[in-house]
Amino acid sequence: MAKNPHTESNSGPANDTGKTNEHSKNEQLETVRSNAEGHDLRTNQGVRIADNHNSLKAGERGPTLLEDFIFREKMNHFDNERIPERIVHARGAAAHGYFQPYENAAQFSKAGLFQDPDKRTPVFTRISTVQGSRGSNDTVRDVRGFAVKFYTDEGNWDLVGNNIPVFFIQDANKFPDFVHAVKPEPHNEIPQGQSAHDTLWDFVSLMPEATHAVLWTMSDRAFPRHFRSMEGFGVHTFRLIDKEEKSRFVKFHWKPLAGTCSLIWDEAQKLWGRDPDFNRRGMWEDISNGDFIEWELGIQVIEEEDEHSFDFDILDPTKLIPEELVPVTPIGKMVLNRNPDNYFAETEQVAFSPGHIVPGIDFSNDPLLQGRLFSYLDTQMLRLGGPNFHEIPINRPVCPYHNNQRDSVHRQTINTGQASYEPNSIDGGWPKETPAGPENGGFESHHERVDANKVRARSDSFGDHYSQARLFWNSQTEVEQAHIIQAYAFELSKVQRPHIRERVITEILPNISIELAQAVGKIHGIDAPSAPTASADELGTSSLDKSPALSLMARLPGNIKHRKIAILAANGVNSDQVNKLRQKLEEEGATAMVIAPSMAPIKGADGSNVESDAMLNGLPSVTMDAVIVPGGKDSVAELANSGQGRYYLQEAYKHLKVIVLLGEGKELLYAANVPEDQGILLGENIDDVFDRFKDALGQHRVWSRDSVANDMPA
């Protein structure tokens, strides 16, 4: 007889990984799914509805009657459909999947999800912007949240991080101040989803500890090309506890198997209007098409005896640990392979917290992390209507859970038995504590001796605010540095108060780079100092001058898998070339999209039909990774005579994309007045250029073009 998961004893062995699999969460959710196909329309009380178009009235033109219980139920539910949105991370997209550990994972932690390399633990991952409301855009300059809920046999573990490894503040006490500063300004609720305004720059220019995270946000990391090409970080230092109860400090990393790449600023801005759902749409469509999204989970491991061996404090959330000092060890892989069934029920109601951990994982004394352990629970209680948010299906653990908590709003569990306290002798003493000892699987906090006075203070080891900002700047390529200069220049141009702009340029930027300060200062007509302005303690020191791993170029994909390629075509196109392009691109794992002046079937030069996937203004070049123009005299002539056709090529060139022109296709290049460079590939047929095309697109963009692309009027 199958066990009832709501009454099963918790006295089983620790780390019992035989109960669940990667489908366990999906199977649990199946019990609450509802498909209306074949069903009558009914009220929430089960009464069939005969007329869903008209409210009950006193005569056809008379007043609506209060007794219309069907209308009242429908309207009351509609009026209450929205819950408070998240204060930060309000706009998000999510997907289901699984995590599978590697052989080496078990040596670092006793957590059950790491023990068996054949075991797949279900996960739900939500990626979000931070500043904007639910109605804001995907491609704004912002940090991205990266939160993963692991439904393990031992309970839920939430790894709640970001796509940058550091944060803006060191102590959680300043978090409300930071969020108030970065949010739309309170007097006019402007700007939405952006950091380019007075209050943010006033705050960060007065808080040097924010400098490092601001620099990351001014880099191309601030707008990922696709969620699959985005790194994730746990930000804080955590602990892993192994089977011998030995504790080690760790930093968590999500490394995208597709490589790292981002949008560029002009491209991101144009996507605001052309596809404000660009990132979330890309994830949804790729998963729907079976092109699943993958990351490796890696850890940087610091032995306890090495805690103080760095030139920074590993508990400081504004600091990262360079990979050259502590390499990232891969311990597993996450695959996102299923979209949610309902956005509100799953993506909007999912409740993450860094306080959701399992045996084998524990906290450090990072003061920002310590504050988050309080804040998240408080937030979920408000957003989701009380302490029973864990009973919402997307938040339920897949393992049994029993305690003496009862009642409150939205309670769904019907607890049997008379005793709701512990210890008791009425219900056999159940539920009972798990006996102490690592072999039994109960959670026990790491035993750390603490002997200190109660103080409101900050460790001197947190006083270095600039050394890692300099390290990040020095580690960027020339192109990336140029983009950072442009970002600071643009952001500060939106700051209305001159003294704030001047403070950033003269008091903050010189401590990162004199070159950066002077370049931004020149654009704003402000003389930047010729030497750093901070004290020696604030400037800090670093044992590294550069860390190549901090550049997006460090993890270029090197192939064209997952890339979306535009094939521009019109009537008279060389249909053989189109068909061969489709085949060769799909063999490489890329997606070919035939884009035409209209959605009508295209008549090839040989009389065959070619189906168009989108129109020129429907899938603009900013949504594509590269552009190919096949031959066909009439096709190229129609595109060349079209403003949209010429603009498509100009815009792709401006955004550093690889452009291939076959046969007569080169005439579109000339008509668009686009100059030739190493990213413009000409050939009579696809075989002439395909290998060069793969190599060029494997670098993501034609970076050598960056210095001249801004001259394009597109």
Active site annotation includes 162: yes
Concatenated DSSP letters for 111-174? -GGGT-TT--EEEEEEEEESSS-TTS-SSSS--EEEEEEEEETTEEEEEEEESSS--S-SSGGG
* Phi then psi dihedrals of residue 357, to 5 deg: -130, 170
Rounded mean pLDDT, 270-288: 96
What's the whole-number average pLDDT of the chain? 93
Concatenated DSSP letters for 455-499? -----GGG---SHHHHHHHHTS-HHHHHHHHHHHHHHHHT---HH
pLDDT in tens, 323-338: 999 999 999 999 999 9
The lowest-confidence range among 71-75, 269-273, 545-549 is: 71-75
Question: Residue 112 has what pLDDT?
Answer: 96
SS3 518: helix
Concatenated DSSP letters for 562-581? T-EEEEE--TT--HHHHHHH
**What's the token pair of residue 202?**
């006033």
- 59 torsion bin: left (phi>0), alpha (psi -120 to 50), beta (else): left
Statement: residue 649 has pLDDT above 80? yes
Residue 311 · residue 269 · CB < 8 Å: no
* Phi then psi dihedrals of residue 128, to 5 deg: -150, 155
CB neighbours of 200 closer than 8 A, spacing ≥ 6?
181, 182
CB neighbours of 399 closer than 8 A, spacing ≥ 6?
19, 20, 152, 153, 154, 155
Catalytic residue among 15, 89, 339, 388: 89
> Of 513, 503, 504, which is closest to residue 476 (Cα–Cα)?
513
SS3 650: helix
Catalytic residue among 15, 137, 156, 162: 162
Sign of CA dihedral 159, 163, 169, 173: negative
Rounded mean pLDDT, 99-104: 98
Distance CA 209, CA 172 (A): 13
Question: Residue 714 has what pLDDT?
Answer: 61
Rounded mean pLDDT, 511-532: 98
CB neighbours of 20 closer than 8 A, spacing ≥ 6?
121, 122, 151, 153, 398, 399
Active site annotation includes 226: no
Cis peptide before 423 (omega within 30 of 0): yes
CA 258 to chain centre: 14
Question: Residue 454 has what pLDDT?
Answer: 85
- The Cα diameter of the chain in Å comes to 89
Question: Residue 14 has what pLDDT?
Answer: 44
Share of the chain above pLDDT 90, in %: 84
Distance CA 632, CA 663 (A): 8
Tokens 């990040």 sit on residue: 472
- Residue 653's H or E segment, with its range, is helix 643-654
Distance CA 140, CA 271 (A): 9
Cβ count within 10 A of residue 414: 6
Distance CA 705, CA 501 (A): 30
Residue type at 214 in one-letter notation: V
Distance CA 393, CA 349 (A): 9
pLDDT in tens, 419-469: 988 899 999 999 988 887 888 888 888 888 888 888 889 999 999 999 999
Residue 149 pairs in a beta bridge with 124, 158
Concatenated DSSP letters for 291-311? --EEEEEEEEEEEGGGTT-SS
pLDDT in tens, 470-509: 999 999 999 999 999 999 999 999 999 999 999 999 999 9
pLDDT in tens, 577-623: 999 999 999 999 999 999 999 999 999 999 999 999 999 999 999 99
Cα distance between the two ends of the chain: 69
CB neighbours of 547 closer than 8 A, spacing ≥ 6?
322, 323, 324, 471, 472, 475
